[in-house]
Amino acid sequence: MSEKCQESDQIVLYAFWKHESIPYYLGGRIIEFKDRGRLAIHGYEGITIKPVAILSGQAGKNALQRLHDLERAYRSELEQLQLTYKHTAEDILNL
């Protein structure tokens, strides 16, 4: 048995689940409750997830934003690290 979440519902629920790479957890707005505790998530049509956390309203929205920020920070720092290593390699070769 599944139950859809209506856009007009007052409380918006966000689910979060494990992911293999940065930011190690993904999240999104729940659009439908499926069987066996699985959920359909807005933006991830065609798949269902098993959540590790469910947050409501602003708390869920904030957590989702913080995960996006974490991923952006990682990508930025990785880019900077790659430049540092490139410059170090050039210094080794006196380029």
pLDDT value of position 10 = 76
Residue where the block lists tokens 């930011």: 23
Long-range pairs of 81-85 with CB within 8 A, sequence gap ≥ 24: none
pTM summary value: 0.81
Instruction: State how many domains the chain has.
Output: 1
Give the domain range for residue 20. 3-92
Distance set, CA 22 to CA 5, 13, 34 (Å): 28, 23, 27
Ordered per-residue pLDDT tens for the chain, 95 residues:
566 666 555 789 999 999 999 999 999 999 999 999 999 999 999 999 999 999 999 999 999 999 999 999 999 999 999 999 999 999 999 99
